[in-house]
Amino acid sequence: MIIDMKAKYFTAESQDAAESMALSFFSCSKPELTIDIIKGDKEGDEDWQILAIKGTEAETKNMKATYVLYYEEDGVYLEIFPERGQGEKLDTSALSHHLSRKKLIDPGLSAVQNLIAKGSGRTKIAVPQREHIYGEDLHVVVTGDEQEASARLISGEPTGPAMGIDHAKAALAEAGVEHGIDDEALKSMLDGKIYNEPYVVARATPPKDGDDGKLLFNFSTDERTGSPREIGGGRVDYRSLDLYVPVVEGQLLVTRTIATEGEPGISVKGSVIKQKPGKDISLPRGKNVEINDEKTEMKASVSGMVDFINNTINVSNVYKINGDCDMSVGNIDFEGSVHVTGSVRSGHTIKATDGITIAGSVEAARLIAGGSVEVKGGMQGSGKGHIEAGGSVTIMYIEQGTIDAEGPVKVDVSIHSRIETGGSVHALGKRGAIIGGQVAAAGDIIANFIGAVSNTKTEVEVGVMPRKRTRIQALEKDLERLEADLVKLNQLDAYLAKTQGTMDNETWTKLHLSGIENRRINTEDTQMANDEISALKDEIAHAADSKVHVFETAFSGSRVTIGSSTYKVTNEISYATFKYSDGEVVYGICEMSKGDVK
């Protein structure tokens, strides 16, 4: 047990006289004191000095080092008493803090330092003066970001005054704390006498960031499933797949909420903490739509179908052809959707800015759609049939034909054809086979069979469509052209600045307004090109995430490419998933089942 005892040095002409002074000072009997002789027991000592400690030898065995100030007639004296046994050594920082709080007049710092260095003894450190009794104090710390202020209650002398709430607030104000003071926390610390423990007594008011502007789409923007569309009463129309969203004239398509500024915060020192304003957002571009004056609502201006592709909303009506697309009809180039109730004969071309639906089959013809394509029959392409789609493609079979699609492709059988898609390829159905040709998908490829028993050369690739890389190159050339155009616009501005006042005013104004409009178009086109390049590069970076799932068999002669690696199938592989791992294409047990495919 470590003991903290009372002690004092006494000096007299004899040991008895010194001990008598100690007994009188402590008002106790000699057995209650522990006496250490400091000097006097050696030859040459003129007087005696003892250290008297109140307590028996057993009680003072482990006394810690301590100190006392004595205010006497000739000055202020500091006495330091060394530790005994296992007692703690002198806490010099506590001593220095105590002396500073005593507010001594003309303190002798060198005398104090010498006594501390000596480790024990008595020395005069100041002139005669009245003793200052200090009370509780408050030490305030403010975080660097001024988010919080904490305080430590410092104890006073036993007879010193306690700190009140007003005194504590004055200490906070002196430290610059003026906002967010927690009166309850401060009072709890003071009343609970929680000494030397940091206590959070003030908190900043945090800023409220503004809300970003948002777009609320009042129609489904989900990828169309291609499933039969429900027509009510629990019935479905197997001839009309879920490939587009119908709308009526005046229907609300998009609602825009405006960004808010938010509110600033206040630090504990009263400084303003800036908030982050919300980012505004613009309505998407649109065709056949109406936008209100506040630009907060977009409505359909015609009835038909709506697509949301490349941040553009297209509303268009439908052009329906009853029967075949043949010589009696000719080629079709239509701003909207095209429905053909019959078939499309060889040599014909159908162009539609939105979807194309063919109820029959397609021969060696071309279908070019900005949206989805549905062929309820199949395509006998004879090497010339071609389908281009900005959305998905659903077709029963394709033989010696080509499909280029941005969305998913669903086919029962692909024979010696080329398919390239920005989505996934589902070769599922009665046969679900890819036999010969090349199939490339940015997403997954799912099929029952890849290749054939006859070892037909069949190539499948997932991850990135080859034309995506070509598109990046084209966009980068566009950016070079736009940059060159911007240089010309800057030259025009410089020319107009020189000729203002000398050129005919009407001509000057036309050139000036033309420059402003062309600069706006240049800025928008540059932003769109950069955004598309960024999206394409991100898609390429994640190319290795795509997989090839085979529910039945991948035959010898097939090649599976993922990213830059290729796996050549030399023996039949059944119920497997091919994926990219550590720089190569590997396969294992199939990670999907037919029930997982929607």
Which three-class secondary structure state does DSSP give residue 185? helix
Q: What pLDDT score does 40 carry? A: 81
* Cα(93)–Cα(151) distance, integer angstroms: 20
Dump pLDDT digits (tens) for 458-515: 999 998 766 777 888 899 999 999 999 999 999 998 988 888 888 888 899 999 999 9
User: What pLDDT tens digit does each residue of the chain (598 aa) get?
Assistant: 233 458 899 999 989 999 999 999 999 999 999 998 988 877 666 788 999 999 888 888 889 999 999 999 999 999 999 999 898 999 999 899 899 999 999 999 999 999 999 989 999 999 999 999 999 999 999 999 999 999 999 999 888 899 999 999 999 999 999 999 999 999 999 999 988 899 899 999 999 999 999 999 998 887 755 455 565 655 654 433 454 577 778 999 999 999 999 999 999 999 999 999 999 999 999 988 999 999 999 999 987 778 888 888 988 777 788 899 888 878 887 777 899 999 999 999 999 888 999 999 999 999 999 999 999 999 999 999 999 999 999 999 999 999 999 899 999 999 999 999 988 999 988 899 999 999 999 889 999 999 999 999 999 999 876 677 788 889 999 999 999 999 999 999 898 888 888 888 889 999 999 999 999 999 999 999 999 888 877 766 666 788 999 999 999 999 999 876 899 999 999 999 999 888 899 999 999 988 887 6
* End-to-end CA gap in the chain: 78
Instruction: Let me know: does 11 contact 18? Beta carbons within 8 Å.
Output: yes
Closest Cα to residue 552, out of 391, 429, 439, 390?
A: 429
Instruction: Let me know: does 102 contact 67? Beta carbons within 8 Å.
Output: no
Closest Cα to residue 560, out of 465, 452, 406, 439?
A: 439
* Cα(52)–Cα(36) distance, integer angstroms: 7
Cβ contacts of 367 within 8 Å, gap of 6 or more = 344, 349, 350, 356, 358, 373, 375, 386, 387, 388, 389
Q: What pLDDT score does 220 carry? A: 83
* Cα(541)–Cα(100) distance, integer angstroms: 66
β-bridge pairing 297-300 and 304-309:
unpaired
Crossing angle of helices 165-174/183-191, nearest 10°?
A: 120
C-alpha to C-alpha distances, 580 to 303, 424, 450, 546, 593, nearest whole angstrom: 46, 16, 18, 8, 20
Closest Cα to residue 393, out of 363, 422, 353?
A: 422
DSSP string across 371-384: S-EEEEEEEEEEEE
Q: What pLDDT score does 337 carry? A: 85
C-alpha to C-alpha distances, 83 to 3, 78, 122, 216, 224, nearest whole angstrom: 10, 16, 15, 77, 86
Instruction: Let me know: does 205 contact 272? Beta carbons within 8 Å.
Output: no
Phi-psi region of 383 (alpha: psi -120 to 50; beta: other; left: phi over 0): left
- Other beta carbons within 10 angstroms of residue 132's beta carbon come to 13
Closest Cα to residue 115, out of 126, 125, 104?
A: 125
Instruction: Let me know: does 125 contact 67? Beta carbons within 8 Å.
Output: no
Backbone angles phi, psi at 467, to 5 degrees: -75, -10
Q: What pLDDT score does 240 carry? A: 37
Element containing residue 499 per DSSP (H, E): helix 466-499
Please, what is the Cα angle at 416 between 411 and 421, to 5 degrees?
Answer: 50
Instruction: Let me know: does 590 contact 553? Beta carbons within 8 Å.
Output: no
Element containing residue 273 per DSSP (H, E): strand 272-273
Dump pLDDT digits (tens) for 276-292: 999 999 999 998 899 99
* Cα(331)–Cα(334) distance, integer angstroms: 10
* Cα(326)–Cα(322) distance, integer angstroms: 11
DSSP state of 147: S
Per-residue buried b or exposed e for 373-412, using 16+ beta carbons within 10 Å of the residue's own CB: bbbbbbbbbeeebbbbbbbbbbbbbbbbbbbbbbbbbbbb
Q: Which residue has the tokens 């571009």?
A: 285
- Other beta carbons within 10 angstroms of residue 144's beta carbon come to 5
Element containing residue 114 per DSSP (H, E): helix 109-118
Q: What pLDDT score does 229 carry? A: 53
Cα dihedral 458, 464, 468, 469 sign? negative
Instruction: Let me know: does 298 contact 290? Beta carbons within 8 Å.
Output: yes
**Bridge partners, 273 (sequence order):** 265
Closest Cα to residue 551, out of 461, 428, 465, 380?
A: 428
DSSP state of 292: -
- Other beta carbons within 10 angstroms of residue 9's beta carbon come to 21
Closest Cα to residue 497, out of 478, 515, 477?
A: 515
Exposed/middle/buried for residue 152 (C-beta within 10 Å: 0-12, 13-18, 19+) = middle
Number of C-alpha atoms within 13 angstroms, CB side, residue 589? 1
Which three-class secondary structure state does DSSP give residue 585? strand
